[in-house]
Structure 1
Amino acid sequence: MSQARTLNPKELRKALDHVATRAHATRNRIALLLTHWAGMRVGEVAALRWSDVIAQDAQVKPEIRLSAAQTKGEQARTVFVSDRLRKELIAYARSQPSSLPTQDPLLRTQKRAGFSANTLAQTINSIYRAAGLDGASSHSGRRSFIPTLAHKGVSVRVLASLAGHRSISTTQRYIDVNDDQKRAAVELMG
């Protein structure tokens, strides 16, 4: 099976623009952004509860602590929330009924139940397909998160930790190298 397509910022914008024209726009926007801007796996996003994201003082937490049960490798980890993502989460929280119990799923289906990882993956895949992003899948956000940070100079050790990888060799498989990057690298010698 081929790897999920990585998306550049323009392609993410295309997907977000499509989402904005559809039902459940705020929910679907947050689902995409958690994968792209926090590098979360779709199963981790599906497993989120309001209490994972919103603190007791009703503020968005700067870190999302995932329990072992919420992660692929059954190893607890911390997801760091950027200022940009925090603003999106605040907007999403404001769009929801104020009486949501903290143990309710962060993302809910039309039937008000939590998503399974598979159902959320199908939802995200259909968004990408409808936006004309062939080859993109629910893993595209994560596949875009890691190389974007790598190309900005973040070390592979930090990337592995952010991604929740136990081995940096796993993280390295996400990082593609192109000729422009090689040219820029040799210019550093100048």
Structure 2
Amino acid sequence: MAATSRRSADRALLRDRPARSTAVKRAAVLTADQISAMLAAASPRDAALVVLMCVGAMRVGETTLLAWEDVEGCTVSIPGGVTKTGQSRRFTLPPAACQWLQAWREVCPTTKKGWVFPGQAGQPLSVRGAQTAISKLAEKVGIEGVSSHSFRRSALTAAHQAGLSLREVAEISGHRSLAALERYLDQDAAREKAEAARSLLVG
């Protein structure tokens, strides 16, 4: 129990590390085809990043602070110590998405704390490092306006356009305020785009 408490405290400190954002001003909402193109061009690590942020609607800081102990098969538990609200969340990856994560697990460098995305000197990958990787990947496949936040926006917009209520979407996102969530969603996204993005979540 003491070890678990120390680990939670350590991750909370890492969560609050200052980081210079490389995010674009308004992260693009992506189609399933665009996401697929990025996955096809990605390294195993970056593909795992994309899958978790999209399917789990995860913030980049939540993703980089995951440890393998948070992953059981295809189920991912996001500890409250790494979330913006302090509330834990849990989701299950569909088979195709789970394969991307498992492929990375097979080649992921081992670290003392078991980070899913190891960085330097035993630390997890920094937020800036993850943002830079995503920006380079988007540039590689010729998609503009992409940041690490694009995957979370895509997932939540798609879920809402697919018929989930704001409260149900808030359960996915971890938003406490429905008003904040409503401002966050891309209300102008075409229904076809939203449904295409949604297909990744259940594929």
- Shorter-chain TM band: 0.7 to 0.9
User: Which amino acid in the other structure matches residue 28 of structure 2?
Assistant: R
Which consecutive unaligned segments of at least 5 residues does structure 1 have? 20-24, 55-59, 182-190
Give the number of the structure whose residues are more often helix, by fraction.
2
Task: State the identity as a percent.
Answer: 25
Within 2, Cα distance between the matches of 1:17 and 1:147? 23
Bigger Cα Rg: 1
Deviation at 1:61, TM superposition (A): 5.3
Q: Does 1:48 align with 2:66?
A: yes
Counterpart residue identity of residue 142, structure 1: R
User: Relative to structure 2, which stretch is displaced further, 111-120 or 29-38?
Assistant: 111-120
Query: Partner letter of residue 31 of structure 2?
Result: N
Of the candidates 120, 123, 134, which is equivalent to residue 124 of structure 1? Answer: 134
Q: Is the 8 A contact 1:26 1:92 kept in 2?
A: yes
Residue 146 (1) aligns with residue 156 (2): yes
Cα distance per residue 1:6-62 (max 9 Å; x no partner): 10001111211221xxxxx111100011111110000000111111113xxxxx252
Which residue pairs with 1:104 in the alignment? 114
More displaced 10-residue stretch of structure 1: 164-173 or 140-149: 164-173
Q: Quote the residue 2:20 is aligned against.
A: none
CA distance in 2, matches of 1:50, 1:147: 28
Consecutive unaligned residues in structure 2, runs of 5 or more: 1-23, 193-203
Please, what TM-score do these two structures have when normalized by structure 1?
0.77
Aligned pair partner of 1:78 in 63, 68, 89: 89
Summarize the Cα distance change of 1:137–1:102 in structure 2 as closer, same or farther, 3 Å threshold. same
Alignment: residue pair count: 167
Query: What do residues 77-110 of structure 1 show as CA deviations (whole Å, max 9, x unaligned)?
Result: 213123233333333323346xx46732101247
Q: How far did 1:176 drift? A: 1.6
1:167 is aligned to 2:177: yes
Q: In the alignment, is the contact (CA less than 8 A) between 2:29 and 2:186 conserved in 1? A: no
2:29 is the counterpart of 1:11: no
> Partners in 2 of 1:47 and 1:92 — Cα distance?
16
Of the three residues 64, 74, 79, the one matched with 1:66 is 79
Confirm or deny: 8 A CA contact 2:29 2:189 kept in the other structure. no
CA contact (8 A) 1:49 1:102 kept: no
Q: Deviations over 1:125-178 (max 9, x none)?
A: 221122211111110000100011112111110111210101111221214245
- Out of 104, 118, 124, the position equivalent to 1:92 is 104
Q: For 2:54 and 2:189, locate their aligned partners in 1 and report how far apart those are by CA, in whole Å.
A: 21
